[in-house]
Amino acid sequence: MALISDIHGNLQALEAVIADVRQAGVEETWCLGDLVGYGAQPNECVALTAEACDVCLAGNHDLVVLDEISIDRFSPHAATSALWTRERISDATAEFLAGLEPSTEADEIGLYHASPHDPIWEYVLSTTEAERCFNEMSPALGAVGHSHMALHCSRQDGERVVMKPAPQGAEQDLSQGRWLINPGAVGQPRDGDWRAAWLLLDLAAGTAAWRRVEYPIDEAARAIEDAGLPSVLSERLFVGQ
């Protein structure tokens, strides 16, 4: 299966990822949330996600445009884009987002937009946070988004939690111990690599492989600027921050 997250209204990045996923022959695609926010094409991204994804979670940016969580915790630029998006989403987009939850657990894998501890807000960016997640997560394997960072965390029996970045081409055996994996961001990576990220996951084999895809970034940036959104939201795409 393919794991994607943090699309953020970047249609050009999403289209490139979906094309790469389909070329890989993946049977199912699961999205960890944040379909909208920051980017200028929220309706198009939600429509494509609804078509291409078999499972989809709600992220904090999805929930705030529905006014289900407070905008007070958002940064100024995030709040500006959320209000812009709230005014422009279609009824179909709002209906789809309203049907999503921020987490779900199955026997083999837990899916959380942010973390098992706090599926809406917590960033898993330290071993301390990962340790708490392992203590609260029922399955041995969990997938998170939200931080826009491609990485993996592990806890083997009797050992400390280990956290490592997962750049393009990284592969990991997940068959032993407990794991938290983050596919990275489709629409706004923050790990210094501007390319759209996704993760190829084989539950049967217990393996994960991180992928990056180039996309027409100029088009995505121009769409943000043409929409009148803050220019920093277009500029940061080019540096992956």
Residue 195 is predicted with a pLDDT of 98
DSSP code string of 133-196: HHHH-SSSEEEE-SS--EEEEEE-TTS--EEEE--TT-EEE-SSSEEEEEE--SS---SS--SE
Residue 186 is predicted with a pLDDT of 98
Residue 143 tokens read as: 């997938």
Residue 91 is predicted with a pLDDT of 98
Residue 13 tokens read as: 């990045």
Report pLDDT digits (tens) over 68-84. Answer: 999 999 999 999 999 99
Residue 109 is predicted with a pLDDT of 96
Q: Which CATH class is domain 8-239?
A: alpha beta
Q: Mind listing the pLDDT tens digit of every residue in the chain (241 residues)?
A: 999 999 999 999 999 999 999 999 999 999 999 999 999 999 999 999 999 999 999 999 999 999 999 999 999 999 999 999 999 999 999 999 999 999 999 889 999 999 999 999 999 999 999 999 999 999 999 999 999 999 999 999 878 999 999 999 999 999 999 999 999 999 999 999 999 999 999 999 999 999 999 999 999 999 999 999 999 999 999 999 8
- Cross-strand pairs, 171: 209
> How far is it, in rounded angstroms, from Cα 144 to Cα 122?
10
